[in-house]
Copies of this chain bind each other. A is one copy, B any other.
Amino acid sequence: MLNVQTTPTSPVSARWQPHPGHHPLRLESDERWSTLAELRNLLQYDAHLLRCDDEALFQRRQLKVGQTALMTGQPFDGLYVVRLGTLKAMITHADGGVHVLAFPMKGTLLGFDGFYQNTYMSDVVALTDCDLVRIPASSLFSPGRGNNHLEHMAYWASSREIIQEQEAYSLTRSVKSESRVARFLHIMSGRFEALGFSPNRFILPMSRRDIGHHLSVTVETVSRAFSALVQLGIITVDFREIKILSRDALCNFER
């Protein structure tokens, strides 16, 4: 179900249409709830003050591999914070070209691009089973309520997403493709480490094609870059399992 076959009729969306069997807003059966304190922890907002005595609870939404979290053209209904799993945020251009904006993981904010036109502007699909926490739009803009802190936190996190998007941009800038792949592996290593996993041995959740669409190179180039790094003794590769043998040497290739 990669493409929803519909004839565009709604002015708000040429690509997304509700249809039988598709209930994006329906609650999952095994849904549970998250507290405001957990949201704060997920977003790493602890550097700022935030009263967490609020009794607000937030829906969770569970996704299986391949399921869609957000779709271009879908009406904006709030923000999501990744609690578990890895996803792929991408844009499909008119000519069929694909660009992978980011690989959201635990603590990443999703959906801010839907604010502008009350419509999400990117497709986000689950690369692994995922667990999201939903911040409904109603709780963001309710006037007079005491959750001004929630609103502030949401926009703080949005600003962070912009910064990280700019960092991702720098991945496509360097001239040599091997450098981009080396940088990509370095960044992934750091993200796994920040999540409590080993930074020197991990399994990539995305395909070579996804990596290519993220770095703006072809699949073959990604594969060749991996092989070159293996040849130099910097990493080992077993399909999606990566072991980093020399982090220093990896950094030296990032230019």
Once A156-B115, A173-B216 are accepted as A-B contacts, the answer to whether A162 and B163 lie under 8 Å apart by CB is no
Cβ < 8 Å to B, chain A residues 37-85: none
A189 to B98, CA, bound (A): 25
Is the pair B99, A169 in contact by a Cβ cutoff of 8 Å?
A: yes
Is the pair A113, B162 in contact by a Cβ cutoff of 8 Å?
A: yes
Residue from B141, B156, B170 in contact with A116 in the complex, judged by beta carbons closer than 8 Å: B156
A220 to B9, CA, bound (A): 45
A122 to B141, CA, bound (A): 29
Residue of B nearest to A174 (CB): B97
Q: Which residues of B contact A216 (CB under 8 A)?
A: 172-173
A160 to B216, CA, bound (A): 24
A219 interfacial contact with B, CB 8 Å: no
Band of interface residues on A: 35 or more
Residue from B151, B155, B173 in contact with A99 in the complex, judged by beta carbons closer than 8 Å: B173
Is the pair B99, A163 in contact by a Cβ cutoff of 8 Å?
A: no
Once A169-B169, A172-B216, A173-B216 are accepted as A-B contacts, the answer to whether A159 and B95 lie under 8 Å apart by CB is no
Mark each residue of chain A from 136 to 159: 1 if its CB lies under 8 Å from any CB of chain B, else 0.
000001010000100110011011
Residue of B nearest to A168 (CB): B169
Is the pair B121, A166 in contact by a Cβ cutoff of 8 Å?
A: yes
Q: Which residues of B contact A115 (CB under 8 A)?
A: 155-156, 158-159
Residue of B nearest to A157 (CB): B116
Is the pair B170, A99 in contact by a Cβ cutoff of 8 Å?
A: yes
Q: Which residues of B contact A113 (CB under 8 A)?
A: 159, 162-163, 166
CB distance from A78 to the nearest CB of B (A): 13
Q: Which residues of B contact A165 (CB under 8 A)?
A: 162, 165
User: What residues of chain A have their CB less than 8 Å away from a CB belonging to chain B?
Assistant: 91, 93, 95, 97, 99, 101, 112-117, 121-122, 141, 143, 148, 151-152, 155-156, 158-163, 165-166, 169-170, 172-174, 216, 255
The 9 closest A-B pairs by CB, nearest first: A115-B159, A116-B159, A116-B160, A113-B162, A121-B163, A155-B155, A116-B163, A143-B148, A95-B255
